[in-house]
Structure 1
């Protein structure tokens, strides 16, 4: 059985490839990347596949039994056709099963909603493909917050517009474990699963970071408008709006959802404190 992972040069794709190798051996894992050289370190066969190029995916998916489609990072409207290129090539090549990495979030009420809408359109395209499928909806990764710690220290704390909304954080390592199980077992075919951990507030997140890193950061919540302006000034209009939308989503409860992680992975999701401790250990 040959299993292919798209966007294998990205952080989530690479984590899934590494976890899958441990289960079925590297000879059965195919990495697909827009720039193959960026995935060669994974030690498996790498095939070229750009989401914009249907023909490349027609070639990349030859002889593939199961496929994991990692959601693209382009603008929301562009992603829909990009993902369709992969789905159509999978159908043409007789791929038996497609697993898609979607996202948790509110589809209407904040600046992150266009991203959620585009993912949900792909969910519909996957469901209508005629292939066996499973859809995972990823929670927000905890890693970017932890990669930002030097900035938090410099600024003396964490500031955003999430107020006391809860966020069910996950990590790429945890997601890799869940997606490998969804690829290998067929009991959950046809389901949509929230791949998230325990819901915590930004104040709790700050407390956990302080405990693991020995810091004394404070959490400050500001208005959505103020945070959006600040992020746009720092990151540019497109990315700044998206980031502000993510935290606005947390504020309104869009990221406090029921977890299906144990159902998917066969074990409970590790705690936020444990995720932070593992990240810290891996960095040091």
Structure 2
């Protein structure tokens, strides 16, 4: 059996590849990347595949039994067709099963809604593909907060518009473990899983970071409008809107979801404290 992982040069794709190698060995895993050189370090066969190019995926998916479709990073209006290029190529090449990395979220309530909507459309396309399928809806990654820690320390606070809202964080490593089980085990076929951990507030996040890093961060809540303005000024209209939309979603309770992680993996999700410790210790 050969399993292909798209976006293998990205952080989530690479984490899934590494976990698959641990479980089934490198001979059975194929990475697909827009720029193959960026994934060579994974030590597996790498094939070229740009989501915009259906013909490349017709080549990339030859001889593949199962494909893991990592959600693209392009603008929402472009993603749907990009993902369809992979789904159609999978069907044409006799791929038997497709696993899709979607996201937790709401389709109407925040500036993040267009991204969520595009993911939901791909979920529908996957379900209607005629292939065996499994869909994971990823919670928000813990890593970006920890990668941003120097800025938090400099500013002496974690500042956003999430208020008292709770967020069920996950990590790329935890997701890699879950997706590997979903790829390898047929009892997950036809399921949609929320892949997230225990829900915590931003104040609790600050407290856990303080515990692990010996910092003294406070949480500072600002209005949705003020945070959106700040993020758009710093990151541009699209990314700034997405980031502020994510935190608005937390404020509204959109990311306080019940987790299906144990159903997908057979074990409990790591608690937030353990994820932070693991990140710190590399």
Regarding TM over 0.5, the answer is yes
User: Aligned ranges for residues 119-198 of structure 1 at < 5 Å?
Assistant: 119-198=119-198
Which whole-Å CA distance do the structure 2 matches of 1:184 and 1:266 have between them? 13
Deviation, 1:264, is: 0.4
Match of 1:238 in 2: 238
Which whole-Å CA distance do the structure 2 matches of 1:193 and 1:107 have between them? 17
* 2:114 partner SS: helix
Which structure 1 residue ranges, 4+ long, deviate > 3 Å from structure 2? Answer: none
Give yes or no for the alignment of 1:38 onto 2:38.
yes
Which whole-Å CA distance do the structure 2 matches of 1:144 and 1:3 have between them? 28
Deviation, 1:241, is: 0.6
Which whole-Å CA distance do the structure 2 matches of 1:54 and 1:94 have between them? 15
What is the RMSD computed on CA atoms of the aligned residues? Answer: 0.4
Deviation, 1:17, is: 0.2
Cα distance per residue 1:107-147 (max 9 Å; x no partner)? 10000010000000000000000000000000000000000
Cα distance per residue 1:204-259 (max 9 Å; x no partner)? 00000000000000001010000000111111111111100000000001000110
Give yes or no for the alignment of 1:81 onto 2:94.
no
Deviation, 1:40, is: 0.3
Which whole-Å CA distance do the structure 2 matches of 1:163 and 1:210 have between them? 19
Cα distance per residue 1:130-188 (max 9 Å; x no partner)? 00000000000000000000000000100000000000000000000000000000101
Match of 1:24 in 2: 24
Match of 2:274 in 1: 274
Unmatched runs of 5 consecutive residues or more in structure 1:
none
Match of 1:215 in 2: 215
* 1:194 partner SS: strand
Match of 1:106 in 2: 106
Deviation, 1:265, is: 1.1
* 2:187 partner SS: coil
Cα distance per residue 1:15-70 (max 9 Å; x no partner)? 00000001111010000000000000000000000000000000000000000000
TM-score, length-normalised on structure 1?
Answer: 0.99
For this pair of structures, how many residues does the alignment match? 282
TM-score, length-normalised on structure 2?
Answer: 1.00
Which whole-Å CA distance do the structure 2 matches of 1:91 and 1:136 have between them? 20
Which whole-Å CA distance do the structure 2 matches of 1:68 and 1:260 have between them? 19
